[in-house]
Every structure is written in C-alpha cells, then in structure tokens.
Amino acid sequence: MTNSHAARDIDTSRPHSARMYDYYLGGKDHFEIDKHAAEAVASAYPGIFVCARENRAFMHRATRVLAREHGIRQWLDIGTGIPTEPNLHQVAQSVVADARVVYADNDPLVLKYAERLMRSTAEGRTAYIEADVNDPQSLLDAPELTDVLDMRQPVALSLNALMHFVPDDRDPYGIVSRLLDVLPSGSALALSHCTPDFDAPTWQKVTDIYHGAGTPVQFRSRADVARFFDGLELLEPGVEVGHRWRPDTEPTATDAEVSLWTAVGIKP
C-alpha cells in the first residue's frame, strides 16, 4: 500500500484516537479536529499529558525487561499509533540487535508513516500490518506476521493504551485470549489501560468526549484490567499504576494524574 493510498483514506471529518494521542505526546501528525478534541479532554483532565508520557515510558521499560530478563526476541505490537521515537523496535533492538517486531494498526495515517517503523537493525526485522484488534483472525492470518515472527518461539504481545477502546460488547477478554492462544509457552502480555479508579467524575467527562467524537471507550477498574492476565504469571509488581511499574527514577506524578494500570504477564 502506498502513502497516496493511505492519504486518500484519511478521515479528517472527526477526531481519531491515534492522532489525539499524538497531540498528547507533543507530536505534529494530527489535524485541527483532533487538536480540538484533545484539548477538550485536557480541559477536563489536565493529567492526560502525564498519562500519555507515562504510558510510553511503561512500554519502554516493559520491552527492556522482557528482552533482558526473559529472553524475548519477538514482539507483536497492536494499536501501534503514529510513530514516536524511540519506537518499540528501537527499544528492543537497543538490547538485542536481532529483535523482530510486527506492528499493527487500523488508522490510515499510521500506515502513511509506517516507513518510520521499518528502519530495523540489519540483524533484526520489522513489518507493519493494517489490521483491527476487533478482528484478531485477520491479523493472525496476515502473511507478514509469520514472515517476520517465528510463532513457535516466545512472542511478547504488546497492547498499550488499546483495550479501553474495545468495550465489553466487543468481547475484549475474548480477543486477548484469542491472540494469546496462538503464542507458545514463555510468551508475554504487556498491557496498559486507562482507569477511572482515582477520579471517576473526571473520567466520565473523558468518556463523554470520546463518545461524542464517535470513538467508543470503556475505562476499567484495576480488577477488570487484571482479568486480561488470567492464566498468566504476573511479573512483579503485578498490576500497578504506570509510573510505579519498575520505575527508572523516583515517581513524581500522582496516581490520579497517571490514571493508568499496567502489567506484564508470562504465559506458562
């Protein structure tokens, strides 16, 4: 698929979650309509910028931990979002040069910039699949997946700030189980998920803004996030607020500012 193909498919008539996230991170790959929606979220929840940064930092730490301490050499990153350096493969390949990463997203703007995700080390490999997490079988059937990843060897399934865009009526737990089922023993799930646990009224406002923009969301409690890890062996410290999951430095943000549950589990 070419960039021109992607550009024709980009819908600028309503905000998109990936482009709003790009705004939260200080990026430039969004449109005015995304900026307005993101600023509405920030007005209700000023911590959204901290939340976005801490989500990204968790992904970096979880990737390094899995590479260094658990021998993971392969990643499937779904809901990749607009490339923001360092991307997952850059983090992984900084630890193990031969790391292989398959990215998947369903936003044409992400596809437009996907070449940024293809700049692998010579020893490693990356690929990009245009796919929707709500249709896991189409992703699993994509030839790029098995072309890059050896599904007989452990794979880390990376779902960062994604599953709160899959409401219960779309079977989020079934989707994650379906993806994990095809991965061998020793594989991992690294997941982050926004939560209303620390400030429910504010997060109801955020929910209303996303719904008004045409994006279904369901922010979940710690217990509901923990359900994604049923049957897995949680790494310490278990399900924890993002900035408290194996931090590199002493956390300075409040739990309410971050409002993000994170965890990493290993498949027995």
113's CB contacts (< 8 A; 6+ apart) are 29, 82, 83
The answer to whether position 191 is within a domain reads: yes
Query: From residue 251, how far is each of 54, 175, 212, 246, 262 by CA, in Å?
Result: 10, 33, 34, 10, 15
Q: pLDDT, tens digit, for every residue of 63-94?
A: 999 999 999 999 999 999 888 889 999 999 99
The answer to whether position 214 is within a domain reads: yes
What does the pLDDT read at residue 3? 36
Q: pLDDT, tens digit, for every residue of 26-58?
A: 999 899 999 999 999 999 999 999 999 999 999
Average confidence score pLDDT of the chain: 93
Q: Judge contact between 40 and 209, C-beta under 8 A.
A: yes
Tally of domains within the chain: 1
Q: pLDDT, tens digit, for every residue of 185-236?
A: 999 999 999 999 999 999 999 999 999 999 999 999 999 999 999 999 999 9
pLDDT surpasses 50 at 2: no
Rounded (10°) CA dihedral 98, 154, 164, 228: -160
pLDDT surpasses 90 at 112: no
Q: What is the pTM of this model?
A: 0.93
The answer to whether position 11 is within a domain reads: no
- Reduce the DSSP state of residue 174 to 3 states and report it: helix
What does the pLDDT read at residue 117? 76
The answer to whether position 3 is within a domain reads: no
Q: pLDDT, tens digit, for every residue of 240-258?
A: 999 999 999 999 999 999 9
What does the pLDDT read at residue 10? 77
Domain that holds residue 77: 17-267
The answer to whether position 6 is within a domain reads: no
Q: What is the CATH number of the domain that holds 236?
A: 3.40.50.150
Query: From residue 31, how far is each of 108, 239, 262 by CA, in Å?
Result: 13, 34, 29
The answer to whether position 146 is within a domain reads: yes
What does the pLDDT read at residue 116? 74
- Asked, as a colleague might, if the bond just before 136 is cis with ω within 30 of 0, I would say no
What does the pLDDT read at residue 61? 98
The arithmetic mean of pLDDT across residues 142-170, rounded, is: 97
What does the pLDDT read at residue 115? 76
Residue entry with tokens 């910039």: 113
Provide the percentage of residues in the chain whose pLDDT is more than 70: 97
The answer to whether position 51 is within a domain reads: yes
Euclidean distance between CA atoms 117 and 128, whole angstroms: 8
The answer to whether position 7 is within a domain reads: no
DSSP annotation string for 242-259: GGGSS-SS---S-HHHH-
